[in-house]
Amino acid sequence: MSPSPPKDAPDAPPARTYTLTGPDGRPYLSDLPGRLGGYRRGRVYGRLDCPSALRHLARGHYAAWRVFFEDRETAVAAGYRPCAVCLPALYRRWRDGDGS
């Protein structure tokens, strides 16, 4: 049995990359997964475990328009609003014009 190559060897499989959305709304590759998910058509962002998003995804809805963000500031800069279901306090602040 031959020894496996070290992880940094040239023939090692590439590290996993994730596609995140930047503050300009454009996708970019990251070594780290996004901490927030979003729905591009509705311009909404929320937690990855949002019950509403998970329900829609389980029914086969909007997976093609799913985006991911590094943090809340990036999502807001890209023009997304907080989810009313999983981020109700932030949503109320956004709705009332008191911030994002």
| Nearest-angstrom CA–CA distance, 91 and 69 | 17
72, 45 contact by CB (below 8 A): yes
User: What structural domains does the chain harbor?
Assistant: 18-95 (3.40.10)
Question: Which ranges in 1-100 belong to alpha helices (H)?
Answer: 51-58, 72-77, 88-95
- Please calculate the CA angle 42-97-51 and round it to the nearest 5 degrees: 40
What tens-digit pLDDT sequence spans the chain (100 residues)? 455 555 555 666 668 899 999 999 999 999 999 999 999 999 999 999 999 999 999 999 888 999 999 999 999 999 999 999 999 999 999 999 976 5
| Nearest-angstrom CA–CA distance, 35 and 18 | 11
82, 54 contact by CB (below 8 A): no
Encoding tokens for residue 29? 């590759």
pLDDT at residue 61, as a whole number: 86
